[in-house]
Protein backbone atom coordinates (compact mmCIF):
# COMPACT_ATOMS: atom_id res chain seq x y z
CA UNK A 1 0.00 0.00 0.00
CA UNK A 2 2.22 2.81 -1.25
CA UNK A 3 -0.43 5.31 -0.17
CA UNK A 4 0.13 4.36 3.50
CA UNK A 5 3.39 5.20 5.26
CA UNK A 6 4.91 3.49 8.30
CA UNK A 7 6.34 5.48 11.18
CA UNK A 8 9.83 5.08 9.75
CA UNK A 9 8.70 6.08 6.26
CA UNK A 10 6.80 9.17 7.41
CA UNK A 11 9.80 10.21 9.54
CA UNK A 12 12.01 10.01 6.47
CA UNK A 13 9.36 11.74 4.34
CA UNK A 14 9.17 14.84 6.57
CA UNK A 15 12.82 14.74 7.71
CA UNK A 16 12.50 14.06 11.44
CA UNK A 17 13.34 11.16 13.74
CA UNK A 18 10.73 8.54 14.62
CA UNK A 19 10.28 9.83 18.17
CA UNK A 20 9.34 13.25 16.84
CA UNK A 21 6.64 11.65 14.66
CA UNK A 22 4.72 10.57 17.77
CA UNK A 23 5.01 14.11 19.15
CA UNK A 24 3.64 15.55 15.90
CA UNK A 25 0.69 13.15 16.05
CA UNK A 26 -0.12 14.11 19.64
CA UNK A 27 0.56 17.84 19.54
CA UNK A 28 0.37 19.02 15.93
CA UNK A 29 -2.38 16.87 14.46
CA UNK A 30 -0.25 14.84 12.03
CA UNK A 31 -2.87 12.56 10.37
CA UNK A 32 -2.47 8.96 11.52
CA UNK A 33 -4.43 5.81 12.20
CA UNK A 34 -3.55 2.83 14.36
CA UNK A 35 -4.19 -0.60 12.83
CA UNK A 36 -3.30 -3.83 14.70
CA UNK A 37 -1.22 -1.78 17.12
CA UNK A 38 0.87 -0.01 14.47
CA UNK A 39 0.67 3.61 13.37
CA UNK A 40 -0.02 4.16 9.68
CA UNK A 41 -0.08 7.50 7.89
CA UNK A 42 -2.15 8.13 4.72
CA UNK A 43 0.36 9.75 2.38
CA UNK A 44 -2.14 12.16 0.78
CA UNK A 45 -3.26 13.44 4.21
CA UNK A 46 0.36 13.88 5.33
CA UNK A 47 1.00 15.96 2.19
CA UNK A 48 -2.09 18.08 2.94
CA UNK A 49 -0.94 18.52 6.56
CA UNK A 50 2.51 19.69 5.45
CA UNK A 51 1.00 22.17 2.98
CA UNK A 52 -1.52 23.48 5.52
CA UNK A 53 1.28 24.11 8.06
CA UNK A 54 3.68 25.79 5.66
CA UNK A 55 4.67 29.36 6.55
CA UNK A 56 6.92 31.98 4.97
CA UNK A 57 5.60 31.61 1.43
CA UNK A 58 7.61 33.62 -1.11
CA UNK A 59 6.24 37.11 -1.45
CA UNK A 60 4.60 37.98 -4.77
CA UNK A 61 6.67 40.18 -7.02
CA UNK A 62 3.86 42.73 -7.31
CA UNK A 63 0.20 43.24 -6.47
CA UNK A 64 -2.68 43.14 -8.87
CA UNK A 65 -2.65 46.29 -11.00
CA UNK A 66 -5.25 48.97 -10.26
CA UNK A 67 -8.73 47.83 -11.26
CA UNK A 68 -9.36 48.63 -14.92
CA UNK A 69 -12.46 46.62 -15.70
CA UNK A 70 -11.27 43.00 -15.42
CA UNK A 71 -12.62 41.13 -12.39
CA UNK A 72 -10.76 37.91 -11.58
CA UNK A 73 -12.46 35.22 -9.48
CA UNK A 74 -10.55 32.04 -8.59
CA UNK A 75 -11.24 28.97 -6.49
CA UNK A 76 -14.04 26.45 -6.20
CA UNK A 77 -16.18 25.95 -9.29
CA UNK A 78 -19.96 26.07 -9.15
CA UNK A 79 -22.71 26.11 -11.80
CA UNK A 80 -24.55 29.01 -10.17
CA UNK A 81 -21.31 31.00 -9.96
CA UNK A 82 -20.80 30.44 -13.70
CA UNK A 83 -24.30 31.76 -14.34
CA UNK A 84 -23.65 34.74 -12.06
CA UNK A 85 -20.45 35.59 -13.94
CA UNK A 86 -22.33 35.42 -17.24
CA UNK A 87 -25.05 37.64 -15.77
CA UNK A 88 -22.43 40.14 -14.58
CA UNK A 89 -20.85 40.29 -18.03
CA UNK A 90 -24.25 40.88 -19.68
CA UNK A 91 -25.35 43.45 -17.09
CA UNK A 92 -22.07 45.39 -16.99
CA UNK A 93 -20.56 45.23 -20.49
CA UNK A 94 -17.91 47.79 -19.53
CA UNK A 95 -16.47 45.11 -17.20
CA UNK A 96 -15.28 41.56 -17.81
CA UNK A 97 -15.40 38.86 -15.10
CA UNK A 98 -13.28 35.74 -15.58
CA UNK A 99 -12.94 32.59 -13.45
CA UNK A 100 -9.98 30.35 -12.63
CA UNK A 101 -10.95 26.82 -11.51
CA UNK A 102 -8.31 26.14 -8.85
CA UNK A 103 -10.31 24.52 -6.06
CA UNK A 104 -11.04 26.22 -2.74
CA UNK A 105 -7.47 26.02 -1.42
CA UNK A 106 -6.12 27.10 -4.78
CA UNK A 107 -8.38 30.14 -4.68
CA UNK A 108 -7.11 31.18 -1.25
CA UNK A 109 -3.52 30.80 -2.44
CA UNK A 110 -4.25 32.87 -5.54
CA UNK A 111 -5.74 35.53 -3.24
CA UNK A 112 -2.60 35.43 -1.11
CA UNK A 113 -0.41 35.89 -4.18
CA UNK A 114 -2.57 38.82 -5.37
CA UNK A 115 -3.57 36.93 -8.52
CA UNK A 116 -7.34 37.44 -8.15
CA UNK A 117 -9.84 39.87 -6.67
CA UNK A 118 -12.11 37.26 -5.07
CA UNK A 119 -11.71 33.63 -4.04
CA UNK A 120 -14.64 31.19 -3.95
CA UNK A 121 -14.36 28.64 -1.15
CA UNK A 122 -16.31 26.08 0.89
CA UNK A 123 -13.66 24.54 3.15
CA UNK A 124 -15.24 22.74 6.10
CA UNK A 125 -13.38 23.34 9.36
CA UNK A 126 -12.67 20.81 12.10
CA UNK A 127 -15.78 20.16 14.15
CA UNK A 128 -18.07 20.37 11.10
CA UNK A 129 -19.64 23.64 12.22
CA UNK A 130 -17.96 26.46 10.30
CA UNK A 131 -16.39 27.20 6.91
CA UNK A 132 -13.31 28.95 5.51
CA UNK A 133 -12.16 31.05 8.50
CA UNK A 134 -9.41 28.74 9.80
CA UNK A 135 -8.12 28.08 6.28
CA UNK A 136 -8.07 31.79 5.48
CA UNK A 137 -6.17 32.48 8.71
CA UNK A 138 -3.52 29.95 7.70
CA UNK A 139 -3.24 31.05 4.09
CA UNK A 140 -3.59 34.84 4.32
CA UNK A 141 -1.59 37.40 6.24
CA UNK A 142 -4.68 39.47 7.06
CA UNK A 143 -8.28 38.38 7.54
CA UNK A 144 -10.32 38.92 4.34
CA UNK A 145 -13.88 40.06 4.00
CA UNK A 146 -16.12 37.00 3.66
CA UNK A 147 -19.42 37.30 1.77
CA UNK A 148 -21.87 34.47 1.35
CA UNK A 149 -22.51 33.50 -2.26
CA UNK A 150 -25.02 30.74 -1.47
CA UNK A 151 -25.74 27.64 0.51
CA UNK A 152 -25.76 24.43 -1.51
CA UNK A 153 -26.31 20.72 -0.97
CA UNK A 154 -23.33 18.37 -1.18
CA UNK A 155 -23.59 14.61 -1.54
CA UNK A 156 -22.84 11.62 -3.73
CA UNK A 157 -23.84 11.46 -7.40
CA UNK A 158 -25.05 8.06 -8.59
CA UNK A 159 -26.69 6.78 -11.75
CA UNK A 160 -30.41 7.29 -12.31
CA UNK A 161 -32.36 4.78 -10.28
CA UNK A 162 -29.37 4.19 -7.97
CA UNK A 163 -28.75 0.70 -9.42
CA UNK A 164 -26.14 -0.20 -6.77
CA UNK A 165 -28.36 0.82 -3.86
CA UNK A 166 -25.84 3.29 -2.44
CA UNK A 167 -27.23 4.85 0.74
CA UNK A 168 -24.13 6.37 2.39
CA UNK A 169 -20.37 6.71 2.05
CA UNK A 170 -19.97 3.27 3.66
CA UNK A 171 -21.46 1.71 0.53
CA UNK A 172 -18.65 3.19 -1.60
CA UNK A 173 -16.48 0.37 -0.25
CA UNK A 174 -18.74 -2.27 -1.86
CA UNK A 175 -16.53 -4.66 -3.89
CA UNK A 176 -16.68 -3.91 -7.60
CA UNK A 177 -17.87 -0.32 -7.14
CA UNK A 178 -15.86 2.40 -8.91
CA UNK A 179 -15.81 6.03 -7.85
CA UNK A 180 -14.46 9.20 -9.41
CA UNK A 181 -12.97 11.93 -7.23
CA UNK A 182 -12.07 15.61 -7.02
CA UNK A 183 -8.56 17.07 -6.45
CA UNK A 184 -7.33 17.42 -2.87
CA UNK A 185 -7.36 21.24 -3.15
CA UNK A 186 -11.16 21.19 -3.30
CA UNK A 187 -13.67 21.52 -0.48
CA UNK A 188 -15.63 18.63 -1.97
CA UNK A 189 -12.66 16.29 -1.61
CA UNK A 190 -12.10 17.51 1.96
CA UNK A 191 -15.73 16.74 2.82
CA UNK A 192 -15.57 13.28 1.24
CA UNK A 193 -12.35 12.42 3.08
CA UNK A 194 -13.87 13.47 6.40
CA UNK A 195 -17.07 11.52 5.80
CA UNK A 196 -15.07 8.41 4.85
CA UNK A 197 -12.89 8.77 7.93
CA UNK A 198 -15.92 9.16 10.21
CA UNK A 199 -17.44 6.04 8.65
CA UNK A 200 -14.23 4.06 9.12
CA UNK A 201 -13.68 3.64 5.37
CA UNK A 202 -10.14 3.70 4.00
CA UNK A 203 -10.62 6.21 1.19
CA UNK A 204 -7.40 5.62 -0.78
CA UNK A 205 -8.25 1.91 -1.06
CA UNK A 206 -11.49 2.62 -2.95
CA UNK A 207 -11.43 1.80 -6.64
CA UNK A 208 -11.19 5.12 -8.52
CA UNK A 209 -10.30 7.22 -5.45
CA UNK A 210 -7.16 8.56 -7.17
CA UNK A 211 -8.93 9.33 -10.47
CA UNK A 212 -9.61 13.06 -10.24
CA UNK A 213 -11.63 15.40 -12.42
CA UNK A 214 -11.71 19.17 -12.34
CA UNK A 215 -15.38 20.11 -11.94
CA UNK A 216 -18.60 18.96 -10.29
CA UNK A 217 -20.04 18.62 -13.77
CA UNK A 218 -17.17 16.32 -14.78
CA UNK A 219 -18.00 14.00 -11.87
CA UNK A 220 -21.59 13.86 -13.07
CA UNK A 221 -20.56 13.16 -16.64
CA UNK A 222 -18.35 10.27 -15.54
CA UNK A 223 -21.26 8.75 -13.62
CA UNK A 224 -23.76 9.41 -16.42
CA UNK A 225 -21.44 7.75 -18.96
CA UNK A 226 -21.01 4.67 -16.76
CA UNK A 227 -17.28 5.20 -16.29
CA UNK A 228 -17.87 5.53 -12.54
CA UNK A 229 -20.63 4.30 -10.25
CA UNK A 230 -20.48 7.23 -7.83
CA UNK A 231 -18.64 10.42 -7.04
CA UNK A 232 -18.82 13.43 -4.71
CA UNK A 233 -20.74 16.42 -6.02
CA UNK A 234 -23.59 18.85 -5.58
CA UNK A 235 -27.32 18.30 -6.08
CA UNK A 236 -27.40 20.90 -8.87
CA UNK A 237 -25.35 18.61 -11.13
CA UNK A 238 -27.59 15.63 -10.36
CA UNK A 239 -30.57 17.72 -11.45
CA UNK A 240 -28.82 18.93 -14.60
CA UNK A 241 -27.89 15.40 -15.73
CA UNK A 242 -30.83 13.39 -14.43
CA UNK A 243 -28.77 11.51 -11.84
CA UNK A 244 -29.76 10.30 -8.40
CA UNK A 245 -28.32 12.05 -5.37
CA UNK A 246 -27.37 10.83 -1.88
CA UNK A 247 -27.29 13.94 0.38
CA UNK A 248 -24.46 14.50 2.87
CA UNK A 249 -24.92 18.09 4.10
CA UNK A 250 -25.82 21.66 3.24
CA UNK A 251 -22.73 23.85 3.10
CA UNK A 252 -21.87 27.53 3.01
CA UNK A 253 -20.13 28.63 -0.18
CA UNK A 254 -18.43 32.00 0.25
CA UNK A 255 -16.54 34.68 -1.63
CA UNK A 256 -13.40 35.99 0.11
CA UNK A 257 -11.96 39.40 -0.75
CA UNK A 258 -8.90 41.15 0.61
CA UNK A 259 -9.79 44.42 2.28
CA UNK A 260 -7.47 46.26 -0.12
CA UNK A 261 -9.61 45.17 -3.11
CA UNK A 262 -13.03 45.15 -1.47
CA UNK A 263 -14.06 48.53 -2.86
CA UNK A 264 -12.81 47.91 -6.40
CA UNK A 265 -15.72 48.78 -8.73
CA UNK A 266 -16.03 45.30 -10.23
CA UNK A 267 -16.04 43.65 -6.80
CA UNK A 268 -18.81 45.94 -5.55
CA UNK A 269 -20.90 45.49 -8.70
CA UNK A 270 -20.60 41.70 -8.50
CA UNK A 271 -21.49 41.54 -4.81
CA UNK A 272 -24.43 43.86 -5.40
CA UNK A 273 -25.73 41.51 -8.08
CA UNK A 274 -26.17 38.75 -5.47
CA UNK A 275 -29.05 40.57 -3.80
CA UNK A 276 -30.96 41.25 -7.01
CA UNK A 277 -34.02 39.42 -8.30
CA UNK A 278 -32.27 38.37 -11.52
CA UNK A 279 -29.68 36.41 -9.55
CA UNK A 280 -32.32 34.68 -7.43
CA UNK A 281 -34.19 33.73 -10.58
CA UNK A 282 -31.01 32.08 -11.86
CA UNK A 283 -30.80 30.03 -8.66
CA UNK A 284 -34.40 28.90 -9.16
CA UNK A 285 -33.38 27.22 -12.43
CA UNK A 286 -31.07 24.83 -10.52
CA UNK A 287 -31.69 22.34 -7.73
CA UNK A 288 -29.98 22.32 -4.35
CA UNK A 289 -29.38 26.03 -3.71
CA UNK A 290 -30.44 28.38 -0.93
CA UNK A 291 -29.75 32.05 -1.76
CA UNK A 292 -31.54 33.70 1.15
CA UNK A 293 -28.18 34.85 2.58
CA UNK A 294 -26.49 35.59 -0.74
CA UNK A 295 -24.60 38.88 -0.71
CA UNK A 296 -24.59 39.13 3.09
CA UNK A 297 -21.35 39.81 4.95
CA UNK A 298 -20.21 36.81 7.00
CA UNK A 299 -17.03 38.51 8.23
CA UNK A 300 -16.39 41.07 9.54
CA UNK A 301 -19.63 41.30 11.50
CA UNK A 302 -20.83 44.00 13.84
CA UNK A 303 -19.57 41.95 16.78
CA UNK A 304 -16.22 41.04 15.20
What pLDDT digit, counting tens, does each position of 229-284 carry?
999 999 999 999 999 999 999 999 999 999 999 999 999 999 999 999 999 999 99
What CA–CA distances, in Å, run from 8 to 39, 58, 206? 10, 31, 25
Do the beta carbons of residue 248 and residue 220 sit within 8 Å? no
Say what the pLDDT of residue 25 is.
86
How confident is the model over 9-48, as pLDDT tens digits? 889 988 889 888 888 888 878 888 887 778 888 887 888 7
Radius of gyration of the chain (CA): 20
When mean pLDDT is compared across 26-35, 64-73, 132-141, 162-171, the lowest value belongs to 26-35
> pLDDT for 81-113, tens place per residue?
999 999 999 999 999 999 999 999 999 999 999
| pLDDT of the residue at 34 | 80
Q: Is 220 exposed, middle or buried (0-12, 13-18, 19+ CB in 10 A)?
A: buried
Cβ(265)–Cβ(199) below 8 Å: no
- Predicted TM-score (pTM) above 0.85: no
Could you tell me if 123 and 104 are in contact, meaning their C-beta atoms sit under 8 angstroms apart? Answer: yes
- Give the mean model confidence (pLDDT) for residues 210-225: 97
- Please state whether 75 falls in left (phi above 0), alpha (psi between -120 and 50) or beta: left
The pLDDT of residue 57 is 55
pLDDT at residue 153 in the model: 98
What sign results for the dihedral spanned by CA atoms 101, 102, 104, 109?
Answer: negative
Cβ atoms of 157 and 237 within 8 Å: the answer is: yes
Orientation of helix 187-198 relative to helix 103-112, angle to 10°: 130
Judge whether residue 61 has pLDDT over 60.
Answer: no
Report how far residue 149's alpha carbon sits from residue 79's, in angstroms, rounded to the nearest whole number.
12
pLDDT at residue 304 above 50?
no
Percent of the chain with pLDDT over 70: 94
Q: What is the pLDDT of residue 158?
A: 98
- The DSSP H or E segment spanning 151 is strand 145-158
- Could you tell me which residue, 83 or 53, shows the higher pLDDT? 83
Name the pLDDT band for 58 (thresholds 50, 70, 90): low
| Angstrom distances, CA of residue 113 to CA of 90, 102, 109, 138 | 29, 13, 6, 14
CA 215 → CA 33, 65, 76, 222, distances in Å? Answer: 30, 29, 9, 11
H helix and E strand count, the chain: 11, 11
Amino acid sequence: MDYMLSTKEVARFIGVNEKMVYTLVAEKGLPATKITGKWLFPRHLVEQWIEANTINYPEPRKDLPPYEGILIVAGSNDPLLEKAINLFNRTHPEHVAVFGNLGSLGGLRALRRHMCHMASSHLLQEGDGEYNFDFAARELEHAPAVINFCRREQGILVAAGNPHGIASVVDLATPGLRIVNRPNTTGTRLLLDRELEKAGVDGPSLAGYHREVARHLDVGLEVAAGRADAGPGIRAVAGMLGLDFIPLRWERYDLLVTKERFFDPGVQLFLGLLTEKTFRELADTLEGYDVRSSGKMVFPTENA
